[in-house]
Chain A
């Protein structure tokens, strides 16, 4: 376990000693802030309408009108930023030859993979931490349901961590970071659009596609509902990503 932590800490240091962390955090904050601000603006206009029209039932719910749309939009940021976080994880090690150091050190493949993934998850945690600033503003002026918000953040953590695990795997496949990044973005895009197709299809294939699509599993979380099937979906994605990374590193050994 302490090997995992040693490796994770190094990953985090690399992110913060290069521009990657700052670019990713800045872009995340900017776009998340924009989604949040437009959610607030929408909420204000609804409130104003409600105030002028007493006949309308007051739907003054920040969770429903600010948090839910913000989190719904939030996943699109991940589609673009997560490949930037994961593409270097293993590709860079292979190009630099430092993978030889890791693979000849007394650490297991799983420790290496978990360490690297954890490093990326920690950077993602920093992103989520920054987004909490916006949420804090909400708590200053209104009374949102914090339990629902917590569920939303659990969902954010899960969807992000699964993307990072899948990205880590794709990064083991090549020593070229750009190739790894492109592969990752391509696959994420596919995971995003899978359910568009299935909307017109009721076949078995369509059902499978819509189950595999990533954002639909996040929807309930934005409403503050934790459904077991969604949690299972994301945990399986994490497990699959890490497991495939392990297999890929094994085959790296045979080919090297």
Chain B
């Protein structure tokens, strides 16, 4: 549905996006993740035909964004960072206007407006002036605007920014409900957001793609395996040796004691679950097993590890990149 080949964007001397390439399949939800200034908005603007790329080619819904922009725009819905609403207009009037400039005509306009209002649950504010709506509702009007012509591709730039937790959950559910019928690209800084809504994450940093994978794989790849925490009632040294002998175990480290019982963190190379084997090893040795817990590294950690570059110390940037490179091998 979306193909990006070697796209770069320069603003004067400043290179905002450097030679990025990726593809998004029909019906997929892909999340763009990256710190401020990573180039997320720039990339999305290129995909929507708002900005021309300096180099490279982007094909959306089968049409080149530079050569057939109108065809692309007919098939894409776009929610910019700030919802593009006219504050002095009434919600209904605004959506009517948007439907028409998106190419909808005749009695279908009213139907589409109703459908979009319902989809984003803003029917009860339809006769209000947009300026008087709360930020969350304005965001939903922006979303209604993006999907009014039921486009093949939806591009949502930070769709949940500025919303309260309840609204965030609602918008995420809405986005999930839209997948399948639409191909969706969204950007965010919030990691739990991509983890809970997206099939795939593309991590952008300083205009480059640092990683592109499913949320689960990203964690596994970064960690090089699983990590299990155990709490065992038994002689610490012996337990550690026993755990180390279980097939697939990479490393055993002893943590702080809990109620006099030692705890262990067991790292395994495999992505397979070895909790059952660990538990059996402990119980068969006659020790008491008080807890087994898999601790996947959170996406927050992935994010920090991948994209944190310390502007003060140049060296750490190299290290972070080396770490990523090592993980990818």
Binding site for B on A (CB under 8 A): 2-3, 6-7, 10, 13-14, 17-18, 96-108, 253-256
Closest B residue, CB atoms, query A112:
B101
- CA–CA, A71 and B85, complex, Å: 41
Closest B residue, CB atoms, query A10:
B97
Which residues from chain A contact B105 at a C-beta distance below 8 Å?
2
Q: Within the complex, what minimum Cβ distance (angstroms) separates A158 from chain B?
A: 29
B171 within 8 A of A: no
Q: Within the complex, what minimum Cβ distance (angstroms) separates A99 from chain B?
A: 8
CB-contact partner of B85 in A13, A14, A98, A107, under 8 A:
A98
Which residues from chain B contact A13 at a C-beta distance below 8 Å?
89, 93
Interface of B, secondary structure class, is loop
Closest A residue, CB atoms, query B45:
A256
B84 within 8 A of A: yes
Tally of A-B Cβ pairs under 8 angstroms: 73
Binds A, one of B30-38, B49-57, B198-206, B297-305: B49-57
Closest B residue, CB atoms, query A7:
B101
Chain B 80-93 per-residue mask, 1 if CB under 8 angstroms from chain A, else 0 = 11101111110001
CB-contact partner of A256 in B50, B71, B76, under 8 A:
B50
- A100 & B85 in contact (Cβ 8 Å cutoff): no
- CA–CA, A256 and B74, complex, Å: 22
CB-contact partner of A104 in B48, B85, B87, B97, under 8 A:
B48
Q: A253-B51, A256-B51 are in contact. Are A3 and B101 (CB under 8 A)?
A: yes
CB-contact partner of B70 in A2, A99, A102, A106, under 8 A:
A106
Which residues from chain A contact B50 at a C-beta distance below 8 Å?
100, 103-104, 253, 256
- A105 & B51 in contact (Cβ 8 Å cutoff): no
- CA–CA, A101 and B79, complex, Å: 8
- B73 & A104 in contact (Cβ 8 Å cutoff): yes
Which residues from chain B contact A103 at a C-beta distance below 8 Å?
49-50
CB-contact partner of B80 in A6, A97, A107, under 8 A:
A97
Which residues from chain A contact B97 at a C-beta distance below 8 Å?
6, 10
Which residues from chain A contact B74 at a C-beta distance below 8 Å?
106
- CA–CA, A108 and B70, complex, Å: 8
- A14 & B45 in contact (Cβ 8 Å cutoff): no
- CA–CA, A7 and B97, complex, Å: 8
Give the one of A3, A104, A105, A254 with max B CB within 10 A: A104
Q: Within the complex, what minimum Cβ distance (angstroms) separates B185 from chain A?
A: 14
> Can you add 17 more A-B contacts, CB < 8 Å, to A14-B86, A102-B101, A256-B51?
A6-B97, A10-B89, A13-B93, A97-B81, A100-B45, A100-B50, A101-B98, A104-B49, A104-B50, A105-B98, A105-B102, A106-B102, A106-B103, A107-B101, A254-B51, A256-B45, A256-B50
- CA–CA, A108 and B68, complex, Å: 11
Q: Within the complex, what minimum Cβ distance (angstroms) separates B172 from chain A?
A: 23
Which residues from chain A contact B84 at a C-beta distance below 8 Å?
96-101
Can you list 25 A-B pairs, Cβ within 8 angstroms, ordered by A?
A: A2-B100, A2-B105, A3-B100, A6-B101, A7-B101, A96-B85, A96-B87, A97-B81, A99-B84, A100-B80, A101-B80, A101-B98, A101-B101, A101-B145, A104-B49, A104-B73, A104-B78, A105-B98, A106-B73, A106-B74, A107-B101, A108-B70, A253-B50, A253-B51, A256-B50
- A14 & B88 in contact (Cβ 8 Å cutoff): yes
Which residues from chain A contact B145 at a C-beta distance below 8 Å?
101
- CA–CA, A101 and B105, complex, Å: 18
Which residues from chain A contact B103 at a C-beta distance below 8 Å?
106
Q: Within the complex, what minimum Cβ distance (angstroms) separates A241 from chain B?
A: 22
- A6 & B100 in contact (Cβ 8 Å cutoff): yes
- CA–CA, A13 and B89, complex, Å: 9
The 10 A-B pairs at the shortest CB distance, nearest first, are namely: A101-B84, A106-B73, A6-B100, A106-B74, A104-B48, A105-B101, A98-B84, A100-B80, A97-B82, A104-B78
- CA–CA, A256 and B73, complex, Å: 18
Which residues from chain B contact A104 at a C-beta distance below 8 Å?
48-50, 73, 76, 78
Q: Within the complex, what minimum Cβ distance (angstroms) separates A109 from chain B?
A: 10
Closest A residue, CB atoms, query B80:
A100
- CA–CA, A159 and B71, complex, Å: 38
Which residues from chain B contact A100 at a C-beta distance below 8 Å?
45, 50, 78, 80, 84
- CA–CA, A100 and B45, complex, Å: 9
Which residues from chain B contact A99 at a C-beta distance below 8 Å?
84
Which residues from chain B contact A17 at a C-beta distance below 8 Å?
88-89
- CA–CA, A217 and B112, complex, Å: 49
Chain B 1-33 per-residue mask, 1 if CB under 8 angstroms from chain A, else 0 = 000000000010000000000000000000000
CB-contact partner of A18 in B73, B88, B101, B102, under 8 A:
B88
Give the one of A2, A3, A6, A102 with max B CB within 10 A: A6
- CA–CA, A17 and B98, complex, Å: 18
Q: Within the complex, what minimum Cβ distance (angstroms) separates B2 from chain A?
A: 15
Give the one of A2, A97, A106, A256 with max B CB within 10 A: A106
Q: Within the complex, what minimum Cβ distance (angstroms) separates B279 from chain A?
A: 55
- CA–CA, A255 and B25, complex, Å: 30
Q: Within the complex, what minimum Cβ distance (angstroms) separates B229 from chain A?
A: 48
Closest B residue, CB atoms, query A3:
B101
Which residues from chain A contact B88 at a C-beta distance below 8 Å?
14, 17-18
- A98 & B86 in contact (Cβ 8 Å cutoff): yes
